[in-house]
């Protein structure tokens, strides 16, 4: 059973996410029957599965919740916002008790009791506790065995429900000594027999302990079947010679029914007859919803596959180099075909790692909902382009920074309702979260229509914190960028919401760890837009392969603006570390000098203009080899301090090319030298 537990937990967390999504949908839109139905179904599955896998607390908890939603879908209870709130907090609670099934953590235990109270209050079901445990009936009977008369007259169409009445009689014999008489008097003439109809009645006499055990055997018999279980005697009549003889006589009688009656009258003690009840049918139509058919694969396996694919790409590149000059047409044919297949495998596995942005959006909706209530702000949260796909490794690390940004939007950006009306704005604030593709990048944009960022206050704050000098002349853009400096926080007092010591500098760092960029635009009084620009994937980058002496480097293609070919003389004539290019004076970094290469530079050299954070700089290299799709490999621990190298890639001939992190290069450079901002 344990081997399925992990899967159960995964499934449970999916179910909870689904639940959260529906709940938030209900809150935003009108309550739709299909939503209630979906919530009910999730609860139902969760309840059933959790009890199967031994999560008693979860099962009990969801049982009550399920009851509530059962009442709602039967229109016996109205879905109030209170119920939704309680259900939402239940989602959180269930998440934590799924990790702590035995309620060993005190806070979980206390929480569980409180939540149970809240839910029981909402639940109108009275006979609920026994429902769960009904299955575990006490089947032990301390009394001794008795002789029972069991009459079983199956419904005529019993075969139609897939039952075989002979199995029942067979099972009965497992309980004890049994004597069965089959009454065939209802069987018609051969010509009139319908083979699908059951005409037989069985009269059984059995010596056994428990009536429940007998009834249990006929559990699946239809309500139309007749079942009589009667206690005749506390003694074992079947062992009595007289009774046995009477029985045998009855069995060969022409009127079995009547003979049985006489026999019972003779031996029986007073008894009561029970018949099963017939219930009215209730019909529930379940709304259908589309379900994507997919398989679940552990992310470790995907990661391993990706790493193998990158090995394959590298090996294939080497093969290409080896067979470049071959004259054997067969070899080059195979090489070409392997190249094609490799490319397809690479693209395919790359797409496997893509996850829609939607997967993390629920978290944001939840945050906005909870926070806006807490801060008493009226906010509409709109999401767009949630089907935009991103590498799963990026998605995983994206949720924290976005949560932080959204918190800031709500806490500092959106004004209170009164403030907004006073300014002539709509009382309800809007936060828009939008994801979209631009080239080989994915942009995530968070826009609010709040009060915007106060430039003078930001500047003052930066001066107070000695982040800039008082005399510094800064453009609006540069002032905005101050927000991303470590140790900057404009909140007058530390609030619980956004001033938790984690500043925008951390957000920026988290994003740049994902090789992404952050861009901030703010119009005072109108609102703020923050754009996160991310690569589609972390494992493969489009780069420009360049060379200095014998060493290869890769510069990410996305940051390159332009390439110039210049002579060594031109570079030597540079004045004040600035080169005149395109009629402008441009700063440059001679990578040859930076990497301490002392060999003689070639006559013609290349300047690659790269930009980062609105700054532009030329990188001088010996030669451009060409465009190259690099499989990024991390450098070992020993190199973790070398910030300007973000990784390495293995080239076709087996040599290593280092991938340059131009953002860091520019940053390091601009600390020592002046770089002109654009």
Partner 1 sequence: MIKTILIADDSESMRDVVSYTLVNAGYKVLAGTDGKDAMKYLDGSPIDLVVTDLHMPNMDGIELIKNIRSNPTYQYIPIIFLTTESQQNKKDEAKAAGATGWIVKPFVPEKLLATIQKVIR
φ/ψ of 536, rounded to 5, equals -70, -35
Residue 74 interacts with partner 1 (CB under 8 A): yes or no: no
Q: Which whole-number Å values give the CA distances from 313 to 157, 516, 545, 632, in the listed order? A: 66, 25, 16, 11
Q: Which of 126, 293, 300, 438 binds partner 1 (CB under 8 A)?
A: 293
The residue among 1 and 241 lying less far from partner 1, judged by its C-beta, is 1
The residue among 212 and 565 lying less far from partner 1, judged by its C-beta, is 212
Give me the least distance between CB of 68 and partner 1, in Å please: 15
Residue 156 interacts with partner 1 (CB under 8 A): yes or no: no
Residue 222 interacts with partner 1 (CB under 8 A): yes or no: yes
Residue 69 interacts with partner 1 (CB under 8 A): yes or no: no
Q: Which of 25, 27, 31, 48 binds partner 1 (CB under 8 A)?
A: 48
CA-to-CA distance for 2 and 53, rounded, in angstroms?
A: 8
The residue among 288 and 598 lying less far from partner 1, judged by its C-beta, is 288
* Phi-psi map region of 675: left, alpha, beta (phi>0 left; psi -120 to 50 alpha): beta
* Phi-psi map region of 491: left, alpha, beta (phi>0 left; psi -120 to 50 alpha): beta
Give me the least distance between CB of 102 and partner 1, in Å please: 17
Residue 17 interacts with partner 1 (CB under 8 A): yes or no: no
Judged by CB under 8 A, the stretch of 4-12, 251-259, 432-440, 511-519 that binds partner 1 is 4-12
CA-to-CA distance for 359 and 356, rounded, in angstroms?
A: 6
Residue 41 interacts with partner 1 (CB under 8 A): yes or no: yes
Residue 163 interacts with partner 1 (CB under 8 A): yes or no: yes
Residue 292 interacts with partner 1 (CB under 8 A): yes or no: no
Q: Are 66 and 15 in contact (CB under 8 A)?
A: no
Give me the least distance between CB of 33 and partner 1, in Å please: 14
- The size of the interface with partner 1 (CB under 8 A), counted in residues, is 47
Number of alpha carbons in the 13 Å side-chain half-sphere of residue 54: 9
Instruction: Match 């005399």 to its residue by tokens.
Output: 471
Residue 49 interacts with partner 1 (CB under 8 A): yes or no: yes
Q: Are 519 and 533 in contact (CB under 8 A)?
A: yes
Torsion over CA: 87, 88, 89, 90 (sign): positive
Residue 60 interacts with partner 1 (CB under 8 A): yes or no: no
Residue 197 interacts with partner 1 (CB under 8 A): yes or no: no
CA-to-CA distance for 271 and 268, rounded, in angstroms?
A: 8
φ/ψ of 534, rounded to 5, equals -125, 150
Residue 358: Cβ-neighbour burial (10 angstroms; 0-12, 13-18, 19+): middle
Q: Which of 190, 252, 291, 678 binds partner 1 (CB under 8 A)?
A: 291
CA-to-CA distance for 430 and 449, rounded, in angstroms?
A: 6
Q: Which of 190, 219, 252, 638 binds partner 1 (CB under 8 A)?
A: 219
Q: Are 10 and 18 in contact (CB under 8 A)?
A: no
Q: Which of 161, 239, 348, 351 binds partner 1 (CB under 8 A)?
A: 161
Residue 220 interacts with partner 1 (CB under 8 A): yes or no: yes
**Residues near 257 by Cβ (< 8 Å), separated by ≥ 6?**
183, 185, 201
**CA 250 and chain centroid, separation:** 68
Window 247-286: residues binding partner 1 (CB under 8 A): 278-283, 286
The residue among 42 and 435 lying less far from partner 1, judged by its C-beta, is 42
Give me the least distance between CB of 6 and partner 1, in Å please: 9
Residue 160 interacts with partner 1 (CB under 8 A): yes or no: yes
Q: Which of 19, 36, 39, 53 binds partner 1 (CB under 8 A)?
A: 53
- The side-by-side arrangement of strands in the sheet containing 441-448 is 379-384, 429-438, 441-448, 527-535, 517-523
Residue 257: Cβ-neighbour burial (10 angstroms; 0-12, 13-18, 19+): middle
Residue 64 interacts with partner 1 (CB under 8 A): yes or no: no
Residue 174 interacts with partner 1 (CB under 8 A): yes or no: no
Residue 580 pairs in a beta bridge with 585
Residue 135 interacts with partner 1 (CB under 8 A): yes or no: yes
Residue 501 interacts with partner 1 (CB under 8 A): yes or no: no
Residue 51 interacts with partner 1 (CB under 8 A): yes or no: yes
The residue among 134 and 265 lying less far from partner 1, judged by its C-beta, is 134
Coil vs helix vs strand at 61: helix
Residue 40 interacts with partner 1 (CB under 8 A): yes or no: yes
The residue among 11 and 419 lying less far from partner 1, judged by its C-beta, is 11
How is residue 349 written in tokens? Answer: 């596995």
Give me the least distance between CB of 216 and partner 1, in Å please: 10
Residue 193 interacts with partner 1 (CB under 8 A): yes or no: no
φ/ψ of 429, rounded to 5, equals -80, 160
Number of alpha carbons in the 13 Å side-chain half-sphere of residue 642: 15
Residue 147 interacts with partner 1 (CB under 8 A): yes or no: no
Q: Which of 164, 173, 373, 426 binds partner 1 (CB under 8 A)?
A: 164
Residues that bind partner 1 (CB under 8 A): 1, 4, 7-8, 11, 40-41, 44-45, 47-49, 51-53, 59, 131-132, 134-135, 159-164, 167, 171, 196, 217, 219-220, 222-223, 278-283, 286, 288-291, 293, 296
């Amino acid at each position: 059973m344990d081997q399925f537990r992990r899967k159960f937990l995964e499934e449970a967390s999916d179910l909870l996410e689904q639940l959260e999504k529906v709940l938030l949908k209900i809150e935003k839109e009108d309550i739709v029957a299909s939503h209630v139905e979906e919530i009910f179904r999730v609860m139902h599955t969760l309840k059933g599965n959790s009890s199967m896998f031994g999560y008693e607390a979860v099962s009990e908890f969801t049982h009550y919740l399920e009851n509530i939603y059962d009442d709602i879908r039967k229109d016996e209870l109205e879905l109030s916002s209170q119920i939704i709130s309680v259900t939402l907090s239940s989602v959180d609670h269930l998440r934590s008790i799924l990790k702590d099934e035995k309620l060993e953590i005190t806070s979980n235990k206390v929480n569980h009791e409180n939540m149970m109270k809240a839910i029981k209050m909402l639940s109108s079901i009275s006979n609920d506790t026994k429902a769960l445990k009904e299955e575990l009936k006490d089947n032990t009977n301390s009394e001794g065995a008795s002789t029972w008369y069991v009459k079983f007259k199956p419904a005529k169409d019993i075969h139609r429900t897939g039952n075989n009445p002979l199995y029942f009689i067979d099972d009965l014999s497992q309980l004890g000594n049994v004597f069965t008489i089959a009454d065939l008097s209802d069987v018609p003439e051969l010509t009139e027999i319908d083979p699908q109809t059951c005409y037989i009645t069985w009269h059984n006499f059995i010596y056994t302990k428990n009536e429940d055990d007998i009834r249990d055997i006929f559990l699946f018999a239809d309500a139309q079947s007749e079942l009589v279980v009667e206690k005749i005697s506390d003694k074992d009549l079947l062992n009595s010679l007289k009774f046995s003889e009477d029985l045998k006589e009855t069995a060969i009688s022409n009127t079995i029914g009547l003979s049985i009656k006489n026999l019972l009258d003779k031996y029986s003690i007073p008894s009561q007859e029970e018949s099963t009840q017939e219930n009215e049918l209730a019909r529930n139509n379940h709304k259908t919803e589309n379900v994507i058919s997919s398989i679940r694969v552990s992310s470790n396996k995907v990661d391993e596959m990706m790493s193998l694919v990158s090995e394959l790409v590298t090996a294939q590149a080497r093969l290409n180099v080896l067979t470049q000059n071959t004259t054997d047409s067969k070899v080059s044919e195979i090489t070409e075909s392997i190249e094609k297949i490799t490319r397809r495998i690479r693209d395919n596995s790359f797409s496997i790692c893509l996850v829609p942005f939607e997967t993390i959006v629920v978290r944001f909706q939840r945050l906005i909902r909870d926070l806006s209530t807490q801060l008493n702000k009226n906010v509409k949260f709109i999401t767009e382009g949630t089907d935009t796909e991103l590498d799963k490794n990026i998605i995983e690390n994206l949720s924290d920074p976005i949560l932080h940004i959204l918190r800031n939007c709500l806490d500092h950006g959106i004004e209170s309702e009164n403030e907004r009306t006073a300014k002539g704005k709509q009382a309800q604030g809007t936060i828009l979260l939008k994801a979209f593709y631009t080239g080989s990048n994915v942009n995530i944009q968070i826009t609010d229509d709040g009060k915007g960022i106060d430039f003078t206050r930001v500047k003052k704050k930066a001066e107070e914190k000695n982040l800039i000098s008082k005399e510094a002349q800064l453009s609006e853009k540069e002032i905005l960028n101050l927000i991303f400096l470590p140790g900057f926080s404009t909140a007058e007092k530390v609030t619980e919401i956004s001033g938790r010591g984690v500043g925008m500098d951390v957000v920026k760092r988290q994003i740049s760890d994902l090789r992404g960029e952050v861009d901030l635009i703010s119009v005072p009084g109108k609102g703020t837009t923050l754009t996160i620009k991310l690569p589609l994937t972390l494992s493969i980058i489009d780069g420009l392969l360049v060379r200095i002496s014998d060493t290869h480097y890769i510069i990410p293609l996305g940051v390159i603006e332009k390439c110039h070919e210049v002579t060594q003389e031109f570079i030597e004539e540079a004045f004040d570390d600035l080169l005149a290019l395109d009629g402008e004076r441009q700063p440059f970094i001679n990578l040859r000098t930076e990497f301490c290469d002392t060999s003689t530079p070639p006559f013609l050299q290349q300047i690659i203009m790269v930009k980062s954070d609105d700054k532009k700089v030329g990188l001088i290299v010996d030669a451009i080899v060409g465009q190259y799709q690099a499989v990024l490999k991390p450098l070992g621990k020993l190199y973790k301090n070398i910030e300007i190298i973000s990784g390495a890639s293995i080239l076709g001939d087996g040599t290593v090319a280092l991938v340059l992190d131009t953002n860091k290069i520019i940053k390091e450079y601009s600390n020592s030298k002046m770089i002109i901002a654009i």
